[in-house]
A and B are shown apart, each in its own frame.
Chain A
């Protein structure tokens, strides 16, 4: 799988609330080269997660547009967006969001089933590769935080997505587990040639990626490239 490029063009997102409209993002532009990794940083409430939801085509921008692999995805109908998400995107969330009634293996398997294929050994191989092979038959509430997040990473990578989106994947983990998870994400991204976008507060995590984009008050503040 070769990673896809992501282009964000002057995107704005507005939410309606009881107190009036709230501008989560204003005129954000961003370009991510295929197969690279980008960290999006910024203070709480600056719109990082909203930006990730827009790139992940879970939400549509109020203004501007987003291209994934050169294709404008913002205006696609929901079935098409759902197809793109299950086939080409992989998500890792801060609070893992594993299905509580499925075992670790089944959580990973589910993503494969969603994307149209069910391979018997791939989930087990991946879990083993990520160091949580022993947890395959366990339910999420029987796992530690680090183990849960590794399973979540396995779920995000199992169907070989072209774009992996991670929202604070280490937010609820200790330093050791954080480092392990980031390494796993990076390894998976490199091995599979995928594009990786990570929302993070952690400068260590941000530093481990190719590039960092900082958001402030819903707009671009700073873009810098790492070595």
Chain B
């Protein structure tokens, strides 16, 4: 039986190939997607941690030391018998020069020991219990005793008794102290506080840590920096780090002149300019609180710190990604900082009243870089690795550090994104599996029909039902096995081409092997069933019954019950309900807040449902249309081809149903993907332009000696640049006050007219007006200001209202002006993190006297990659030669706020899907045509015998195929459009701006061309085969 089945497959290569082709393509698509998911998931770790500047920060919780100390003793300490007592003594000392407030002592015994009621004492006096429990461990949360203020150099002694519940030593009493000044509880008898140097050395020795650097910084008030006779009247930041730190962050800490020496200071370019220092010479004086004489240091160098994310990245939990740049900065060696700056602040803090001078205490931290190369490619596994390393770092100085685990936060988001990507991609791969099953079933049905005669012969020769079923089983196993295997190979090759070997093999061998097994198993089961079931059904039927040629039989139950229409209506209704209830709305992802893209997997059922239901309804559409074709009267046959074709289509549309369904399924999938791909490309481009602000952003270097005023924009209009607009923008550079409220705001000053011509403005960015109207209002009123709706709510103002605005806040140029709200805006290109106010740049400069532009936005004549390259080259070759310019483009800017999902090669996946879709559409047509030929060859040969010429015969075959292709394409395009629109809605959270649906004309035309070409080629092939058939043999077939 096995040999017979094998020989049968080899003897009928065309049938074998047609059946295998569908399975290979379907399984290829599914397995390709699985491999793609593996490869992409692996690259997600790299993408997720790429923007992380500092992997782990260990911040010393008490940089100035902790004056309040707690010691604990337990007497007796020997082993106690049940019921025996012991006494805990806690001694609290304030060794500092100022009082500590809100001092809380907490002492919790182990469960083996019970508090002895009424035994608590404070300096010998009885300390009352609270509701019968220890005052040092109140309630379920075991809150400690708040003794209020502890005066400097004072001591308080507490004690309480414990009774042993079980025999054992009186261990496990945990006591801590915390104060309002040092909130983090410090354990009793804690060892001496670690210094930054010790902490750095210990963390550098933790396994998994590549290197660790010490960093210290503190803010000093305006007037702290002097040189020659100049004083900088602006707040400044003092940094302490070593040359190694600068080396590890050399891309962002750019020492332009001189070097970082232990005994000298490096000034930021802005500070140097303000002090009139042009090079590494002379001295700078730094006034420090708690130090009588200013610290005088030689100027060792000048640095551009404007991009030093490691230094200016926010350390606040809620805004870790915020870049809080302080232009006036001075860098000293870490040891110098520890030796001179820190003690000065300690002294200042120790003197009551002087604390007011210290705006915020110094920050001492160790920035650790993990061995990224040894991290697992999968973000989930990498997350496990980094958390283990972080735990080790935590243990280095328990209770003395606060750990900011930036890398694990990023990986946690990436892990969630990877899981989401898997679900999302699987949904895009599932149609492949369903198509494989459909094609296998389709081919199986055709195969079963073609083998009826052979089976009848076998029956005549004595083969029973069992033997026939065995042959069918072997044949099915061979098809499904070989098809799944070849499909898996095709999928792997496709993924390799799309992703590249390095990305694909970044996934572990086990992961790839698992995907291969999953794809093979899924392919084997689905295609096996799809092949076996029709074959088994055919065997069960009466042989003579198979001879019925006219397929006017009863419709299947699902058609009679209108289940297809019901499914389509259900999907449409559910989608409408989901839209109205805001199910598709979602919060954008944020890496900094550890918020991954939220995309319920259930939503992905909508596009899949639209695909399947739409394609199934196409059968009904085909029948409906076919039955309405004009076929003339009973007496008049009509023109030859039209007469035959019309009657064939009208009277046996069921024979075409499978073909229509196949083409519709493939077309719908292709069109849906094309819609998504096209929209995705446009949305990514729009996001990039929105993030940059236009095609190009030019930021003058702080090291430049040239003043970059508004007029400099004209110098940037080089070849390839169409428009340039200047922008002034700083964080918290404005203070807005209304009658109701006031708040600090981020304000940008723009030139409304050139900004409108340069930046990609959408009407949806503005409330109550179009973009053009809003900017026209701003341009028309010099003192006009646009504010965001949240600020408007807080300030209780709207268009037309007057507000008081402090411009250039925090600088010596700050001025208070009364301005008029001219409109409301939600977003502004170039400010993806958000912005609260927009003013006119000319007004801003005139009122503040500042003429320095922060950056320029440029709109190119050609936004393509080549156009951008041309413009950037012209900028660097032109104004860039005389000046240091930093040029960012839509191609180079990496948006840190976006999820790692956006970095996935979604386009690659769509290309992979489309590649298989194109091939599958051609395969469906080919299988349909050859199936038609198998089913109708007797009809065609009879017509030939009756004298029909080849051209008419070609017209007949092409007519039927064309009808199937046309209906399938039209119905599929409709279903695919619905699928594509739903896909765009579902995947909206991937983008910053709501994506505008883009019609995929090119890909749609390509799909249509493939269907038409496949129809023509398959028809031509079918006719050649028809000519080769032996008429005498075919006409005698029973």
Which residues of A are in contact with B by a Cβ distance under 8 Å?
15, 18, 49-50, 52-53, 56, 58-59, 78-79, 82-87, 89, 91, 93-95, 97, 99-103, 105-106, 109-115, 118, 120, 137, 139-141, 155, 167-168
Contacts and interface: CB of A to CB of B under 8 A. Distances in A.
B647 A106 contact: yes
Contacts of A85: 944-947
A86 B946 contact: yes
Given A97-B942, A110-B644, A15 B1030 contact: yes
Contacts, number: 107
A101 B637 contact: no
B651 interface: yes
Nearest to B655: A101
A155 B652 CA distance: 22
Contact of A118 (B636, B1032, B1036, B1037): B636
A114 B640 contact: yes
Contacts of A155: 946
B546 interface: no
A93 B939 CA distance: 12
A56 B945 contact: yes
Nearest to B11: A18
B1038 A87 contact: no
Contact of A113 (B637, B944, B950, B1031): B637
A82 B950 contact: yes
22 contacts: A53-B1030, A56-B945, A58-B944, A78-B949, A85-B947, A93-B942, A97-B942, A97-B945, A99-B939, A100-B652, A102-B647, A106-B647, A113-B637, A114-B640, A118-B636, A118-B637, A137-B634, A140-B549, A140-B550, A141-B548, A167-B1035, A167-B1036
B635 interface: yes
A93 B640 contact: no
Interface in B649-669: 651-652
A103 B632 CA distance: 14
Contact of B550 (A115, A137, A141): A141
B938 interface: yes
Nearest to A112: B637
Interface string B696-714: 0000000000000000000
Nearest to B639: A113
Contact of B648 (A95, A97, A101): A101
A97 B942 CA distance: 7
Contacts of B152: none
Interface residues of B, number: 35
Nearest to B1033: A49
Contacts of A58: 944-945, 1031-1032
Contact of B944 (A15, A82, A110, A140): A82
Contact of B942 (A99, A115, A120, A168): A99
B630 to A, nearest CB: 15
A50 B1031 CA distance: 9
A120 B635 contact: yes
A89 B947 CA distance: 9
Interface string B1015-1038: 000000000000000111001111
A155 B1035 CA distance: 16
Contact of A59 (B640, B1032, B1036): B1032
Given A100-B939, A120-B636, A167-B1036, 9 more contacts: A49-B1032, A100-B549, A101-B550, A102-B644, A110-B643, A112-B637, A137-B634, A139-B550, A141-B550
Given A53-B1032, A120-B636, A101 B652 contact: yes
Nearest to A58: B1031
Nearest to B948: A114
A109 B1030 CA distance: 26
Contacts of A115: 947
Given A114-B946, A141-B550, A105 B634 contact: yes
Contact of A79 (B648, B939, B949): B949
Contact of A110 (B550, B635, B636, B946): B946
B972 to A, nearest CB: 26
B1030 A59 contact: yes
A178 B226 CA distance: 125
A178 B175 CA distance: 114
Indicate the member of B548, B643, B647, B945 with the most A CB atoms within 10 Å: B945
Contacts of B1031: 53, 58-59
Interface string B255-280: 00000000000000000000000000
A83 B1030 contact: no
Given A97-B942, A105-B634, A113-B643, A83 B947 contact: yes
A115 B643 CA distance: 14
B951 to A, nearest CB: 8
Contact of A50 (B550, B949, B950, B1032): B1032
Contacts of A87: 947
B947 A93 contact: no
Contacts of B636: 118, 120
A164 to B, nearest CB: 13
A97 B1035 contact: yes
A26 to B, nearest CB: 16
A85 B1031 CA distance: 14
B460 to A, nearest CB: 15
Contacts of B950: 78-79, 82
A106 B549 CA distance: 16
A148 to B, nearest CB: 11
Interface in B941-971: 942-950
Nearest to A97: B942
Contacts of B944: 58, 82, 85
A85 B949 CA distance: 10
Interface in B988-1038: 1030-1032, 1035-1038
A118 to B, nearest CB: 6
Contact of B1036 (A95, A103, A105, A140): A95
A82 B637 contact: no
A56 B1030 CA distance: 13
Contacts of B652: 100-101
Nearest to B942: A97
Contact of A111 (B548, B639, B643, B946): B946
A193 to B, nearest CB: 20
Contact of B949 (A82, A94, A167): A82
A99 B644 CA distance: 10
A140 to B, nearest CB: 7
B941 to A, nearest CB: 8
Q: Which of A94, A103, A113 has the most CB of B within 10 A?
A: A113
